[in-house]
Amino acid sequence: MCGILCWKGTIDDELLNRVKSRGSTCFDTRVSSSQVHCLSSVLSLRPPLTPQPVVKNDKIVMYNGELYNIGEGCDTVAFSEALFNTPSVISALQNIKGEYAFAFVDGNTIWFGRDCIGRRSLVYRIDGENFVISSVTDHVMDTEEQGWIQCVGGVVYELDVVTVSISEHLWGYKDDETNPNLIYPYREVSNDVIELENHVISEYATQFKQLLADALSVRTVGYEQISILFSGGIDCALLARLADINLPPSVSIQLVNVAFQNPRVGEEYETPDRVLGRNTFEELKALSQYGRMIFSEVNVPYEETLSHRETVQSLMYPSTSVMDLSIAVAFYFASKACSSNVVISGLGADELFGGYSRIVQSLTRGYDAVAESLQVEFSRLHVRNLGRDDRVICHHGKEARYPFLDEDVVAWATACPVNLKLSGSRDEDTKFLLREVARSVGLDSVTFQKKRAIQFGARSAKMEIGSGKVKGHEVFK
């Protein structure tokens, strides 16, 4: 895990410290011939340690991410060499599989951006002749708008250092009439509908179970412990069960369940997610061959939430809504309690397999409408969730990884018949295929449970007396 900071002009200590907090193992600064300052902070999650920035002649790479198609080599070296040795940055990026953000200084040109799904944070700010590209912002509450822009997932940016002008190179779908520079490694969400015969359902479930297990394994290989953000719902329960089945017996699995003291609600920490989490943990524990799961109850007093709120608001910026804050604060405290630097998240399951009530509502207009709704949900993950979550979780020196957002998983899921995702309008019809996979690995009770969004399940939303009518899309004050 790394922090990226690339700038011309001046920066303040707050930004420098935030970037450094993302990588405590080492950090270094280089200056290019075009007087661009390049700083990387590195948290070494597994050997060998590769210091950054990576420099070759007058080219400098700052990289944060994980690659999954390079074999046994070091991904930082592989990513850097791919850019150093190519006549076309665009062609090099087309062949890279993984979750990353980067900045690449090549003379008077800076290439920067996030992977096509947007699984790592990157923001930028331009001020006249000066600019900053960074993993995080230096936003301070109660100040004027500071001009930070979140890089769009699915866009590679090309910055001319002399004119301080930006060109955008877009990812697009294979048959897109706009002629994109880069082709997504997956299709748009299919609107195909099939007959739901038992043998067909079983075949699809078997295929997906293997893909998801592979995506989880490649993100956890070589670690003695992993932490899973655990609400007790089907997405995280399935990941926990697959981890227990497939990871080496020596690997411990921490299930991190967060609950907030909310003055508007009684029962202190007996939140919906705490109750569901305990029940699901008992089911997982009974199924486990190794008895290696640890259920970690993270209780956050109201006063502690208040004391950290300004920090969370600053970290999540440029996300600014009330809902963003209630989600970000949950991930902030959950990741802080994670014993492992590698944090597994079930993000992407709802967007790919129809877990939201608004997707269920679209079924009244037919399965074409469901497919369109799923496409919208998936396409805005980079702006709604991923950048915000990365900035908050990495503040504690932890790195979120998303098995449901593995490129191969996404390619399979977007091609999957839509009625295998939403088979009807009942709660148990949502994420239909995931429930089938869960049953196939012994998870029964969780397949019938209704899951709340984290801000309601953990009760991190609407904490103040009188805030009950505040809307999630409103900007926090």
Per-residue confidence band for 380, with pLDDT thresholds at 50, 70 and 90: very high
Residue 88 annotated as part of some ligand binding site: no
Is pLDDT larger for residue 281 or for residue 447? Answer: 281
Mean pLDDT across the stretch 155-180? 91
In this structure, the dihedral spanned by the alpha carbons of residues 115, 117, 121 and 126, taken in order and rounded to 10 degrees, is: 70
**Above pLDDT 70, what percent of the chain?**
94
pLDDT at 70: 74
User: What would the two tokens of residue 172 be?
Assistant: 């697009």
Give the pLDDT confidence of 188-236 residue by residue, as tens digits. Answer: 999 999 999 999 999 999 999 999 999 999 999 989 999 999 999 999 9
- Domains of the chain and CATH, by start: 2-183 (3.60.20.10), 198-457 (3.40.50.620)
Give the pLDDT confidence of 117-155 residue by residue, as tens digits. Answer: 999 999 999 999 999 999 999 876 555 556 899 999 999
Tell me: pLDDT of 158 over 90: yes
pLDDT at 264: 79
Mean pLDDT across the stretch 73-98? 93
In this structure, the dihedral spanned by the alpha carbons of residues 441, 284, 253 and 430, taken in order and rounded to 10 degrees, is: 60
Tell me: pLDDT of 476 over 70: no
Q: Choose among 400, 399, 458: nearest CA to 43.
A: 399
Is pLDDT larger for residue 26 or for residue 232? Answer: 232
CB neighbour list of residue 462: distance below 8 Å, 6 or more residues apart: 262, 264, 326, 468, 470
pLDDT at 461: 77
Tell me: pLDDT of 385 over 90: yes
pTM comes to 0.94
pLDDT at 144: 54
Whether residue 248 is preceded by a cis peptide bond, meaning omega within 30 degrees of 0, is no
pLDDT at 271: 92
- Average pLDDT over the chain reads 91
pLDDT at 374: 97
Per-residue confidence band for 464, with pLDDT thresholds at 50, 70 and 90: low
Query: Based on the number of CB atoms within 10 Å of its own CB, is 24 exposed (0-12), middle (13-18) or buried (19 or more)?
Result: middle
pLDDT at 454: 80
Tell me: pLDDT of 276 over 80: yes
pLDDT at 427: 67
Mean pLDDT across the stretch 359-383? 95
Residue 346 annotated as part of some ligand binding site: yes
pLDDT at 268: 83
Per-residue confidence band for 265, with pLDDT thresholds at 50, 70 and 90: confident
pLDDT at 145: 57
Instruction: Identify residue 87 by its one-letter amino acid code.
Output: P
pLDDT at 178: 72
Residue 91 annotated as part of some ligand binding site: no
Give the pLDDT confidence of 344-359 residue by residue, as tens digits. Answer: 999 999 999 998 888 9
Torsion region of 149: left, alpha or beta (phi above 0 gives left; psi -120 to 50 gives alpha): beta
Tell me: pLDDT of 90 over 90: yes
Tell me: pLDDT of 266 over 80: no
User: What would the two tokens of residue 265 be?
Assistant: 């609600």
Mean pLDDT across the stretch 237-249? 97
Is pLDDT larger for residue 426 or for residue 354? Answer: 354
For the beta sheet containing 59-67, the strands, ordered from the edge strand earlier in sequence to the opposite edge, are 54-56, 59-67, 98-106, 109-114, 155-160, 165-172, 182-183
How far is Cα 433 from Cα 430, in angstroms, rounded to an integer?
A: 9
Mean pLDDT across the stretch 418-424? 91
pLDDT at 434: 96
Per-residue confidence band for 100, with pLDDT thresholds at 50, 70 and 90: very high
Of 50-59, 161-170, 172-181, 201-210, the range with the lowest mean pLDDT is: 172-181
Tell me: pLDDT of 470 over 60: no
Residue 394 catalytic?
no
Residue 164 annotated as part of some ligand binding site: no
Helix spans in 221-288 (H): 234-246, 272-287
pLDDT at 124: 97
Per-residue confidence band for 457, with pLDDT thresholds at 50, 70 and 90: confident
pLDDT at 176: 78
